[in-house]
Amino acid sequence: MNFDLTQEQQQIQKLARTFAENELAPGVLERDANSEFPMEAFKKFGGMGMYGIPYPKAFGGQGGSYLSYILGVEEVSKIDGAFGISFSVNTSLYGGSVMYSSATDEQKKRFLAPIASGAAVGSFGLTEHTAGSDAAGQQTVATPDGDGYVLNGTKIFNTNGPFADYTVVYCLMDPSIGTKSMAAFVLEKGMPGFTVGRLEDKMGIRSAQVSEMHLDNVRVSADRMIAKPGEGFKLAMKVLDGGRIGVAAQGLGIAKGAFEIARKYLMEREQFGKPLCKQQYLAFKMAELQTEIEKAELLLYKAAICKEEGKPHSVPAAMAKMTCTDTAMRVTTECVQMLGGNGYMKGYHVERMMRDAKITQIYEGTNEIQRLVISGQLFR
């Protein structure tokens, strides 16, 4: 067993770190306060090839490892967790839906290359009012119409939804047989009947943009179908296995970002005539948090490696997602506490990180759903 990162992985980690420090740190508080998405920075990061890291060069990707991509998500999330999820949804959920579907190579190139190069942004339409944890509860329907299909329904909680150029929409062809008829299509911004609905006002990840998407008699040509009827549900589940590793990386990044702020603070801030880090209670607390972070990191990197090596990774992904995101919540909450009154104030960042951490325990399958996935494999 080798715990060293490859040269490629170290390079990506460094690139993402430098980008986050130079492009994301300035203005991160203002973007959080005003719910503003850093589109220019998002496009710039895409131009560096980051969104296509794990996909083949033939489809516009970089042909890199899944762990390299995960390290990228982790690095940017240390500074801006909202950017981390926009990146992860773009690559894992949109990109994964196209890549792991039964689409032809031509379709894959057509729908993946613009995202991989950063020229366009992708989004993932699975969740509905009736289909949250129960992803099978879909009501969006595609009806055959001539040589194409007509789609009707409403998707909710679409990250990147408001500005996405491409959205993968999962839907039923025959509601009477449910997911056995689930298919998936790639829709594009501006298609008649495909509109952005309510923009969500959120507790955290405030600069990420999340909205409803309405489909009102959207006419879609057959060459936009990437998962045939019956393939859609399994595709969504497979894609979420990869997405959960991305959310785990986001959570771990948030945890590490808050930890580092607290570490520096405890060395600088003096009370009772000495730096806070000389208070054994706080030093021990940091020792515990660092151990939690390293445990989570091991699970995350293991899950990423399982995925890139083509091994079963539903359970490793669920374990990593649950552990990294619970770690993010615990570490950020403890960091706010250790920074005292300052921790509660915006300028020290940890309160934002605590708010950002909360959603990581919820989306791409709540941590209760991760327990369902793990226990489901235990008793088969």
Q: Where in the sequence numbering do the catalytic residues fall?
A: 364
- Minimum gap (Å) between residue 215 Cβ and ligand CAA: 17
Q: Identify which of residues 28 and 126 has a Cβ nearer to ligand CAA in the complex.
A: 126
- Asked whether 185 and 149 are in contact (CB, 8 A), the reply is yes
Q: Identify which of residues 25 and 136 has a Cβ nearer to ligand CAA in the complex.
A: 136
- Asked whether 66 and 304 are in contact (CB, 8 A), the reply is yes
Give the torsion through C-alpha atoms of 212, 171, 234, 299, to 10 deg: 0
- Minimum gap (Å) between residue 273 Cβ and ligand CAA: 47
Q: Identify which of residues 54 and 365 has a Cβ nearer to ligand CAA in the complex.
A: 365
**Where along the sequence are the contacts to ligand CAA (CB under 6 A)?**
85, 89, 124, 126-127, 133-136, 157, 159, 233-234, 237-238, 240-241, 314, 363-365, 369, 372-373
Q: Identify which of residues 114 and 161 has a Cβ nearer to ligand CAA in the complex.
A: 161
- Minimum gap (Å) between residue 161 Cβ and ligand CAA: 8
Amino acid at 360: T
- Minimum gap (Å) between residue 87 Cβ and ligand CAA: 11
List alpha helices for 164-231, DSSP H.
none
- Minimum gap (Å) between residue 321 Cβ and ligand CAA: 9
Q: Identify which of residues 232 and 343 has a Cβ nearer to ligand CAA in the complex.
A: 232
Cβ-count burial 137-169 (b if 16+ within 10 Å, e if not) = ebebbbeeeeebbbbbbbbbbbbbbbbbbbbbb
Q: Record the tokens describing residue 49, joined without a space.
A: 């090839």
Tell me how far apart the alpha carbons of residues 322 and 279 are, in angstroms, rounded to a whole number: 31
Q: Record the tokens describing residue 235, joined without a space.
A: 């595709």
Tell me how far apart the alpha carbons of residues 353 and 328 are, in angstroms, rounded to a whole number: 8
